Amino acid sequence: MTAKFGLETLDLSAVVSKVVSVVENFDSTTSVENNLVDAFAAAAEVATFNLQTEKEWREPELHRQKQKALMNAIGNAHQEIIGQLDGFNSYPASSSNPMPDVVGKRGKQLIFAEIKNKHNTMNSKSSDATFHSMVGFSESKQFKDYLGIVVQIISPVPASGEKMWISNRPRKNLLKMSGRVFYAIATDPMKRRPTIDFDANEDLRKWPSWQAIDLMVDIFLKELEKQTKSKTPTAKYSIA
């Protein structure tokens, strides 16, 4: 792969290994015991989907639980990957020493961020909790000069002429943006600062680093193929 944006140094072997192990070590018995079955939903599915036996319902239900565990692992993987970008560090959740998911210091580019896997998985309660957490970090002495960003990895990319990010509850130092926009900024060779060196109307599609997230996906999929010895689907994967 052509060396670009420092992504050629990414070592995703450990990150991918964690994702793979979640599926390989998934305990269906424990999952059933720890997740209460919605009897109403189960009965409705059996009736409306014309299922003949409970087994026909239980097998896809276990698959959904396994997929949920996998999605949680992928969310953690996104945080760890960003933590490997030049100038960035990832921090595990901790009640005794709370830190943002990732913190970046690249020249004058100072960023802390909370990483979310998909834009449509954040309900109002989780959005409120994330916002109040971000406010707390932004008002602390450690991050008072930092820009706080909620990164939604899978999120619609703004159409041509639309703003590249939105302010979070109208605080100018708290932003919300897609994963593609964030990667373009976090790997920008010029280390330009959002809201200072350019605003939300800047057309980041013209930046070379606009494709940075695609390069990350390529690295991830190659490592996934290596560890699972399975070919990933040939369809071109791209994060919106």
Read off the pLDDT of residues 111-124 as tens digits, 9 standing for 90 and up. Answer: 999 999 976 666 67
Average pLDDT, the chain: 86
> Where is pLDDT greater, at 154 or 43?
154
Q: Does a structural domain hold residue 222? A: no
pLDDT given at position 143? 96
| pTM of the predicted protein model | 0.86
Q: Which of 58, 79, 100 is the last residue of a domain?
A: 79
Please name which of 80, 70, 84 lies closest in space to residue 20, comparing C-alpha atoms.
Answer: 70
Same-domain check for residues 65 and 96: no
How many other CB atoms sit within 10 Å of the CB of residue 205? 14
Residue 231 has pLDDT above 60, yes or no: yes
Q: Where does the pLDDT of residue 195 fall: very low under 50, low under 70, confident under 90, or very high at 90 and above?
A: very high
Same-domain check for residues 192 and 120: yes
pLDDT given at position 113? 97
Percentage of residues in the chain having pLDDT higher than 70? 84
pLDDT given at position 145? 94
Cβ–Cβ under 8 Å, residues 60 and 99:
no
CA angle 165, 171, 177 (to 5 degrees): 20
Residues 6 or more apart whose CB falls under 8 angstroms from that of 178 comprise 119, 151, 152, 153, 155, 156, 157, 158, 240
Instruction: Return the axis-axis angle of helices 179-186 and 212-228, rounded to nearest 10°.
Output: 100
pLDDT given at position 126? 75
Q: Does a structural domain hold residue 95? A: yes
Q: Does a structural domain hold residue 236? A: no
Q: Which of 61, 79, 97 is the last residue of a domain?
A: 79
Same-domain check for residues 50 and 140: no
Could you read off the pLDDT of 68-111 as tens digits, one per residue? Answer: 889 899 999 999 999 999 999 999 988 888 999 999 999 999 99
Same-domain check for residues 134 and 202: yes
Please name which of 155, 144, 147, 170 lies closest in space to residue 240, comparing C-alpha atoms.
Answer: 155
Distance CA 208, CA 94 (A): 36
Distance CA 55, CA 115 (A): 37
Same-domain check for residues 65 and 174: no
Q: Does a structural domain hold residue 5? A: no
What is the separation of C-alpha 227 from the centre of its chain, rounded to a whole number of angstroms?
Answer: 21
Instruction: Read off the pLDDT of each residue in 8-21 and give the average, rounded to a whole number.
Output: 94
Residue 56 has pLDDT above 80, yes or no: no
Same-domain check for residues 124 and 100: yes
Amino acid (1-letter code) at residue 102: V
Same-domain check for residues 89 and 198: yes
Residue 92 has what DSSP assignment? -
Could you read off the pLDDT of 139-181 as tens digits, one per residue? Answer: 999 999 999 999 999 988 888 788 999 987 778 899 999 999 9
Same-domain check for residues 92 and 203: yes
Q: Where does the pLDDT of residue 14 fall: very low under 50, low under 70, confident under 90, or very high at 90 and above?
A: very high
Question: Residue 37 belongs to what domain range?
Answer: 10-79
Element (H, E) at 139: none
pLDDT given at position 205? 93
Domains in the chain, number: 2
Same-domain check for residues 68 and 89: no
**Helix, strand, or coil here: 182?**
helix
Q: Does a structural domain hold residue 231? A: no
Please name which of 204, 143, 216 lies closest in space to residue 177, comparing C-alpha atoms.
Answer: 204
Amino acid (1-letter code) at residue 111: I
Q: In which residue are the tokens 């990732």 written?
A: 102
- Here the tokens at position 210 are 């606009």
> Where is pLDDT greater, at 25 or 36?
25
Q: Does a structural domain hold residue 207? A: yes
Same-domain check for residues 67 and 95: no
Residue 1 has pLDDT above 50, yes or no: no
pLDDT given at position 3? 47
pLDDT given at position 37? 62
Instruction: Read off the pLDDT of each residue in 54-67 and give the average, rounded to a whole number.
Output: 74
pLDDT given at position 65? 81
Residue count of the chain: 240
